[in-house]
Structure 1
Amino acid sequence: MDFTPSSDPDSRGYVFATTGPDYTALATRSATMLRGIVGDTPIDLFTDQPSLEGPFDAVHSLGDGFFRPKFDALIRSRFARTIYLDADIWPVADPSDIFDLLDRFDVAMAHDPYRATEHATTTWRQNLPTAFPQYNSGVIGARQTPATQATWQAVIDGILADAVPRDQGVLREVLWTGNLRIATLPEEYNLMGLRALNTLSSDCAAPRLIHSPRLHATFRKRKAPIDTLSDLLGRTAAEQVARLVASDPTLGGDGARVRPLIRRGIMEILSRPLGLVRGRFQR
């Protein structure tokens, strides 16, 4: 494959990639929410679905039905700097400073939060140090260069050659053996460990992107529809997210004090004798 850089060296944009009507509908909803946060920043979709209306600036056709179309989308992205998002991302605040990282780094991703699980510890062709864990591929910032495009193609080739059911193990090894400059994103840019919401306070950066496979369980496992953040997290946690975003000074917030959920109500009473998370860093 011939790799060509973006024609506009300053272009920035978001990319989704989906196959099938259900994932495409999920991505359309995520992109609609993202549009309300990032304004006129371009948002593209790569899909195997026919033409559709929605929040996208451009819709690109996918051909071969590969089950991980994100890597094809990253190779073909028209932007010099791309933020790729999975369909099961629920945007709650502006993640666009990932673009600024790409002035210095080739790619930006967050670590998988569940690093001791079977899928996270399963390697591909060689064992790797535990201190270089899997990155979650649901949020990827990437420069459009021959080196990054070759990386995504190597992941595709590895998955297809060995019929690997998940991409993260292959991606981990390709990054390990390559020379890309990797920026590791903090969890608020790809928040999968939702129990962390119990302990987040205004001392912590607010979530930007919530990543929950529960969003596609609505059609994969016929679970109840999720139409609001309260449906996804519960009313209390959804309200806490709103408070954290409104308070976070890195998002232009007012700096208002927000206590963690675990320090509210009965949990505050219980935490005193149990000594939960107490010490010099607990306020």
Structure 2
Amino acid sequence: MSFLKIYILLTGIMITWGLNVSVIKILVAHTQPVTITSMRIFTASLIVIIILFFFGLIRLPKKSELFYVFGGALLSVVFHHYFLAEGLTKTSASNAGLILGMGPILTVILTMIFFRKKPTLIKLLGFICGSLGVSFTVMAGSGGIHSINLGDVDILLSILSQALSFILINKASKTMDPRLLTGYMMLIGSFILFAISLWKEPEGLSSLATAPPSIWGAFFFSAIFATALGHMSYNYAIGKVGAAESSIFLNLNTLFSLLGAAFFLNEALAPAHFIGLIFIVSGVLLGSGAIEIWILQRKNKRLSA
């Protein structure tokens, strides 16, 4: 698959993930958050495994791959979702959004540490633009940033664990299909999250029984499209273009989250959101390498002419 197709795929994933934020807000309003998250990820893992079975991609992990399977399950599923849920109960939405917007920058830093891969000046400028764009959109929606507290530490741990999982997925993709890794990570992680929910939310299962039927439509949209297909495709993209290049598209998640909230939850958009949009789109074009590829293609055409 060409880089252009991968970039289109990543943009589509960000649209789904952005809309999924509004869907999850609806879900947790009627159920216990950790319980519904464990059930959603478990459902998604079954969907991923069924899809891979039909494509003939199912196999047991090798001994050398077990570290990546369990490490990815803990970082990408358990730690990320647990600390995110805990942090959002203690900090403001603006603080959380700004810290989550650090994901691409953290991924670049970790890529430099683990792979000794330095970003080009154009890509680094893209990551900075993307971070500025996220800052504009989040602060415009919540009226500014408030004081740092323990909830901010939880959010930082959440995005740090996700960034570390991208590094593991990138390493594992050398021997294991990232889509198969996704299925195993989700399956193992959902069981661990469910065990945590039994401890933290003793009445979590009963909250599912009393949820209105319309909630289950939202549940399956989130499980199938955002969680199963979304994470399977995103991890596939990491294996093709790299962790840092894929992570820059996470900036679009903030944009589509705002649009989804405006459409589904009737939340207002401010002029500063559109300033953030300009920075985010510029950041994606620069940080993904799309501009560099375009410059290289033009240079090759001139040389061939």
TM-score (norm 1): 0.30
- Would you tell me which structure has more strand in proportion to its own residues? 1
Identify the structure with the greater helix proportion.
2
Higher relative contact order (CA 8 A, sep 6+): 2
